[in-house]
Structure 1
Amino acid sequence: MGILEVRVFDEDGKEVTLRDVVKGRWTVLYVYPKDNTPGCTTEAKEFTELLPEFERLGFQVIGVSKDSVESHRRFKEKHGLKIKLLSDPNAELIKALGAWGRRKSYGREYEGVIRSTFILNPDGEIVWKKIKVRAKGHAAKVLEEARELVEDS
């Protein structure tokens, strides 16, 4: 099964495939560890701030984490987020994207979500990816990549 067939939950709690979500549009799909944590909040706010620029280029911006649909709703309300968020409770999409692996936090090693970003073309093919990103300033870097991809196509 390809990544486009992996099932996740949209903001209404409806089970959808990534293909349903991409719908023939350029897509920035960013994977983050957890709603309402400092780095994830910074990243989501920066993507929200730059959303009009992404939309001018024909892109949609979608965040995905293991958090529940309800957690995403609260996260969006609390921070005024305008981006779409998908719930991947079993990390099936996250793992299929390669954004899951060994992490270290406070000297402890564990398996978990690796903050990563992917750009998918309208056919749903990954045309750019960055694994292990830093949250602060990342959205602006992704916007530059998006501009280059659209100019080259």
Structure 2
Amino acid sequence: MIEKNQRLVVFTSNSSKDATEGIAYQWKYTVENQNGPEGMVAGKCLNRGESLAMNTTTRSLIVMNYFPDYPSIIGACRENSAPLMDMLNTCYEAAGKRWPNFIVVDFYKKSDGGGAPEAVDKANGQLICARPDILSCRVIQGGGVRTEL
């Protein structure tokens, strides 16, 4: 996808669209934690009702939700900071030590710290080169990845 510069992936939660429209049925490919207040409990990363368990390894994509039922800019500043990073680590453990491919929040530009970009930076660093953040990964000639200590 990267080589073809085609990076849009569309999923549907309607299983019939997989066969009739060729849109990937999300539950064939993803596991996802609960959204809303139930999904924002510190120390817990419960799977969403429609999803298989977070540690199901037959699904290669992990979606981490971290947002309340009703959007709040003031709440986002608080929640998109240390609590988001804590949930990132909690869901990593719950997903069988796998980092999320998608991090879903409200008001991604709002935080009291690094916020959603910091969470994405950490997850990408871990996914790409098993380093603390994406800046620790360096692309070398030929498209490979090396790590620097």
By relative contact order (CA 8 Å, sep 6+), the higher-ranking structure is 1
Q: Which has the higher strand share?
A: 1
The reply to whether TM is greater than 0.5 is no
Bigger Rg, structure 1 or 2: 2
Question: Larger helix proportion, structure 1 or 2?
Answer: 1
